[in-house]
Chains A and B, each alone.
Chain A
Amino acid sequence: MRKTIIIAAAFMLGATGSQAQTPRKGGTIRYTAAYGSSFSGMDIHTTPRAQDEIWARAIHRSLYNWDSAANKPVLELASAVTVSDGGLAHTFKLRDDAFFHHGRKLTADDVIFTFTRLMDGSKAYPGARFVRLIKGAVEVEKGQAQAISGLRKIDDSTLEMTLTEKVDPGYYFMTAGTSIYPADEAVKDSFATKPIGLGPFKFVEHVPGSRFVAERWEKFYKPGKPYADKVVIAIMGEAAARDVAFRNKEIDAAILGPAQYVAYQADPNLSKGLLEVAEVFTRHMGMNPSFKPFADKRVRQAINHAIDTDLIIRRLVRGKAFRATGWLPISSPAYDKDLKPYAYDPEKAKKLLAEAGFAQGFEFEWTASANESWGVPIVEAVIPMLEKVGVKVKIKPVEATVLAEVIRKGDYQAYIYSVNSGPDPQAALKCFHSATPASACNYTTFKNAEVDKLLDEAGAMDDPAKKIANLKKVDAIIYEEAPVWFFNYNKAVMAYQPWLKGLQPNATELAFQDYESLWVDESSPAAK
């Protein structure tokens, strides 16, 4: 119930916060990029990192965008789409009022150019994994074709896209990694340092390691927007420094970590400006079934019963998370609110272990990074809990970069990680299809015939309600099979100044904001 209230409150803020008052034009939005001390560069196609998407959303736009209020992808650069050929052919009517920052109107050629560029196999653009959905894209990637056969220009503002699977393309073409580039400008060397896009702000400067500045694009296609004259994004990887800067009113918004979250909640003033969202990330401990004890479902369930998850969330994660009750997070359309989490029950855990032939317990190696919310500190808290049921743990600390590689290669007995589990429930659960390799995202090499069948059926369904029902069943089976210890879903928290309005509770990543909807009132130090 509490979770529902928080999410509902967050959505209300996003949906109505900016409408309660008349948006004010002018001023500067002083935003922050909290996930590192630099941006990768100014070609957003080359990077899938959240840190880079923060600036890219000011400059670029994709075919679709995430609607935080509706909690689903919506058309962005097209005004209409018609679907035919059994759900595979999508005909987009592109907006006739979208102009690139050098003044030229968006055409179907730009979309085709962008997707063809992303499939350049020699460049290995991360966004290629989305474009592969289009028929003929893989052939271009392999160098067997020059053009993507599934993309057809009907006229300058009409484009037909034929997919290989019956999925909602909105989930695939909404990220900055598939931003539409101007075909005439993107081939120039200067484009990598001076990006031109269709977004609400046009590029002014990027001081590597310091800030990114963009100014209002007067010909932006949403009437009256953007409200602000300028967006300045300060690169601030240190939480403590962000905290001081926020309190000193030098920045308008800051993503909070667990330590700051507690302090801000306790402060009568700061607590008024907190935006909380259940993000689409599932923190979990993956168990490798090739390690004998973990091959037995009862052992995996015993692990879930042996850990007092609520205590860890309360004490270590400082309440900045929601208890996981399955793989799909709360903000997923297929989240099953009736699923109850594994109860903390060491006796039941011991019983299950005994039934599985491990009455004396066993020892396993747990690979973890240093992350404070899903890393070594959490493992250290779990160790005594598992010891109570006879299971010993040896920590193998690794760097985050190494952890990702270890997991993909299956070179672990257990790992703890945070994985994107949305917003598309079908894509998230496909990671548990036996045909999905561990190197893709089936990290626990999960294999269940019923799950495969339900997922295949869901993929062929036209009725969204039936599809969701199938996906809920899949999530329930995964929960019962317990390939992982279901830890938590991330609760992202952003502190914002009283003068900043129009923030959106984006469940895909709270730091991703549509800057055109943000505005500052007269009390902002940067109101002029």
Chain B
Amino acid sequence: MFAFLLRRVLQTVPIILAVALLIFVLFSVIPGTFASSLGDDGRNVMDAQVIERINRQLGLGDPLHVRFGNYVLQLASFDLGTSFRTRQPVTAVLAARMWPTLQLCFAAMVIAIVLGVPLGFVAALKPGSLIDTLSMVGAVSGLSLPKFWLGLLLMYLFALKLGWLPSFGYGDGGLRYIVLPAVALGVAPLALLARTTRAAVLEILNADFVRTARSKGMSERQVVHWHLARNALVIVLTTVGLQFGSVIGQAVIVEKLFAWPGLGSLLVDSVSLRDIPVVQGSILVIVLFFLFVNTLVDVLCALIDPRIKYS
């Protein structure tokens, strides 16, 4: 296991380098700079002298390879640079946004797991039943709903019409503020988890070892507990891992809509303002989080299923 973990950690190095190179090249070739973005609303005349000085100050006048070399050296010392916009260290900028995003993603995934997995299980155990049909119609709908639209609907219903919850903001970080954005973000993974769980359970239900267990006289409860759940859990966990990683990326829309102060809204603003160090930092953090969650899932799968060996 230790060798596996070490290998996974080492694998992240080329991945991080490749991502860093990709973002770096992308933002070097697309037009527009941070300085030019300062006047993009037509309110301010950004004179050429100031633009040139800002570009020079930010090191944007250096050749591409020099800038990339400097960036990699910075990365090697765990320095993500300084935000063009706030003139604060990128790590500090990201740190302020990390926790709200993690809160939101955890809440969304909790909703997805708590509702999606049992729903998929029940649907699979009673295939063709009303509950199966309803849950699968719900799952398909959940996957199809645009988050922005769903978010607005939730705001309209639970904030405006029923008055139960606030429509926007982070507030004091309390539960009532996170409910609507978490539901808006959690519906798609919920639907996917329900479908995946149903498919996994159905497949296992038809497996030889389940038939053997039943023929040996095991009760249905024992079959579900000892054979179905453990085997299905590996597939469910893998899906959870993949979804966990991707909800961080999907949080962009939800965070913007609900004025949630997370990484997603920071990333959108930073892209449009060409705050390259923050964009690079945000994407690297998202990639690292994705890798971390998936490594964790691999480890958990190995613990659950003794057939899985990481040597």
Footprint of B on A, CB under 8 Å?
35-38, 40-41, 43, 46-50, 121-124, 126, 128-129, 192-193, 207-211, 234-238, 240-241, 244-245, 247-248, 250, 281, 398-406, 408, 417-420, 431, 437, 439-441, 509
Which of B259, B268, B269 makes the CB contact (< 8 A) with A210? B259
Contact yes or no, B36 A405, CB < 8 A: yes
Cβ contacts under 8 Å, B54 to chain A: 124
| Bound Cα distance from A439 to B36, whole angstroms | 11
Segment from B42-50, B212-220, B242-250 that makes contact with A = B42-50
8 Å CB interface, B83-102 against A: 85-88, 93, 96-97, 100
Chain B residue at smallest Cβ distance from A399: B32
| Bound Cα distance from A36 to B259, whole angstroms | 10
Chain B residue at smallest Cβ distance from A508: B43
| Bound Cα distance from A46 to B87, whole angstroms | 9
Cβ contacts under 8 Å, B258 to chain A: 241
Cβ contacts under 8 Å, B93 to chain A: 208
Q: Is B138 an interface residue (CB 8 A)?
A: no
8 Å CB interface, B233-274 against A: 255-262, 265-266, 268-269, 272-274
Contact yes or no, B45 A35, CB < 8 A: no
| Residue of A234, A405, A417, A420 with most partner-chain B CB within 10 A | A405
29 CB contacts below 8 A, A to B, read A46-B87, A48-B38, A48-B39, A49-B38, A50-B41, A124-B35, A124-B54, A209-B261, A234-B259, A236-B168, A236-B259, A241-B155, A244-B159, A245-B159, A281-B42, A400-B272, A401-B33, A401-B40, A401-B273, A402-B30, A402-B32, A404-B37, A405-B31, A405-B32, A405-B33, A420-B42, A420-B45, A437-B48, A509-B43
Chain B contact residue count (CB 8 A cutoff): 57
Cβ contacts under 8 Å, B260 to chain A: 209-210
Chain B residue at smallest Cβ distance from A53: B43
Contact yes or no, A401 B272, CB < 8 A: yes
By Cβ-Cβ distance, the 9 closest A-B pairs, closest first, are A209-B261, A210-B261, A41-B86, A401-B32, A439-B48, A124-B53, A37-B265, A405-B36, A48-B44
Footprint of A on B, CB under 8 Å?
30-33, 35-48, 50-51, 53-54, 57, 85-88, 93, 96-97, 100, 152, 155-156, 159-160, 163, 166-170, 255-262, 265-266, 268-269, 272-274
Contact yes or no, A440 B266, CB < 8 A: no
Cβ contacts under 8 Å, A209 to chain B: 96-97, 100, 255, 259-262, 265-266
Chain A residue at smallest Cβ distance from B85: A40
Cβ contacts under 8 Å, A420 to chain B: 42-45
Cβ contacts under 8 Å, B32 to chain A: 399, 401-402, 404-405
| Bound Cα distance from A316 to B200, whole angstroms | 51
Question: Closest CB-CB distance, B76 to chain A, in whole Å?
Answer: 26
Contacts A244-B160, A401-B36, A441-B45 known; 10 new A-B pairs at CB < 8 A: A37-B269, A43-B87, A124-B54, A192-B86, A209-B261, A210-B170, A241-B152, A245-B167, A401-B37, A419-B42
Contact yes or no, B36 A408, CB < 8 A: yes
Question: Closest CB-CB distance, B140 to chain A, in whole Å?
Answer: 25
Contact yes or no, B38 A244, CB < 8 A: no
Contact yes or no, B88 A41, CB < 8 A: yes
Contact yes or no, B156 A238, CB < 8 A: no
Contact yes or no, A207 B37, CB < 8 A: no
| Bound Cα distance from A282 to B261, whole angstroms | 33
| Bound Cα distance from A418 to B42, whole angstroms | 6
| Bound Cα distance from A371 to B159, whole angstroms | 29
Question: Known: A46-B87, A405-B33. Contact between A248 and B48, CB under 8 A?
Answer: no
Question: Closest CB-CB distance, A492 to chain B, in whole Å?
Answer: 12
| Bound Cα distance from A248 to B162, whole angstroms | 10
Cβ contacts under 8 Å, A247 to chain B: 160
Question: Closest CB-CB distance, A179 to chain B, in whole Å?
Answer: 15
Question: Closest CB-CB distance, B158 to chain A, in whole Å?
Answer: 10
Cβ contacts under 8 Å, A245 to chain B: 159, 167-168
- Across chains A and B, the number of contacting residue pairs, with CB separation under 8 Å, is 178
| Bound Cα distance from A50 to B44, whole angstroms | 9
Question: Closest CB-CB distance, A280 to chain B, in whole Å?
Answer: 9
Cβ contacts under 8 Å, A123 to chain B: 57
Contact yes or no, B48 A234, CB < 8 A: no
Question: Closest CB-CB distance, B173 to chain A, in whole Å?
Answer: 9
Contact yes or no, A35 B41, CB < 8 A: yes
Contact yes or no, B85 A41, CB < 8 A: yes
| Bound Cα distance from A209 to B88, whole angstroms | 15
Chain A residue at smallest Cβ distance from B45: A441
| Bound Cα distance from A128 to B50, whole angstroms | 8
Contact yes or no, A41 B159, CB < 8 A: no
Contact yes or no, B168 A208, CB < 8 A: no
Contact yes or no, B256 A37, CB < 8 A: yes
Cβ contacts under 8 Å, B262 to chain A: 209
Cβ contacts under 8 Å, B87 to chain A: 41, 43, 46, 192
| Bound Cα distance from A466 to B272, whole angstroms | 44
| Bound Cα distance from A237 to B156, whole angstroms | 18
| Bound Cα distance from A487 to B240, whole angstroms | 52
| Bound Cα distance from A121 to B49, whole angstroms | 10
Question: Closest CB-CB distance, B37 to chain A, in whole Å?
Answer: 4
Which of A35, A43, A122 makes the CB contact (< 8 A) with B57? A122
Chain B residue at smallest Cβ distance from A232: B169
Cβ contacts under 8 Å, A437 to chain B: 48
Cβ contacts under 8 Å, A439 to chain B: 47-48
| Residue of A46, A50, A238, A439 with most partner-chain B CB within 10 A | A238
| Bound Cα distance from A244 to B152, whole angstroms | 8
| Bound Cα distance from A378 to B281, whole angstroms | 36
Contact yes or no, B41 A49, CB < 8 A: yes
Which of B42, B47, B167 makes the CB contact (< 8 A) with A250? B167
Contact yes or no, B167 A237, CB < 8 A: no
| Bound Cα distance from A406 to B31, whole angstroms | 9
Cβ contacts under 8 Å, B31 to chain A: 398, 402, 405-406
| Bound Cα distance from A248 to B155, whole angstroms | 10
Contact yes or no, A440 B40, CB < 8 A: no
| Bound Cα distance from A41 to B93, whole angstroms | 10
Question: Closest CB-CB distance, B264 to chain A, in whole Å?
Answer: 9
Cβ contacts under 8 Å, B41 to chain A: 35, 49-50, 400, 418
Contact yes or no, B261 A244, CB < 8 A: no
Contact yes or no, B40 A404, CB < 8 A: yes
Contact yes or no, A241 B257, CB < 8 A: yes
Contact yes or no, A234 B33, CB < 8 A: no
Which of A126, A192, A402 makes the CB contact (< 8 A) with B50? A126
Cβ contacts under 8 Å, A38 to chain B: 261, 265-266, 269
Cβ contacts under 8 Å, A406 to chain B: 31
Cβ contacts under 8 Å, A234 to chain B: 168-169, 259
| Bound Cα distance from A441 to B39, whole angstroms | 11
Contact yes or no, B168 A40, CB < 8 A: no
Cβ contacts under 8 Å, B156 to chain A: 244
| Bound Cα distance from A247 to B157, whole angstroms | 12
| Bound Cα distance from A461 to B259, whole angstroms | 50
Contact yes or no, A207 B256, CB < 8 A: no
| Bound Cα distance from A47 to B50, whole angstroms | 12
Which of B35, B88, B152, B159 makes the CB contact (< 8 A) with A240? B152
Contact yes or no, B274 A237, CB < 8 A: no
Question: Closest CB-CB distance, B49 to chain A, in whole Å?
Answer: 8
Question: Closest CB-CB distance, B251 to chain A, in whole Å?
Answer: 12
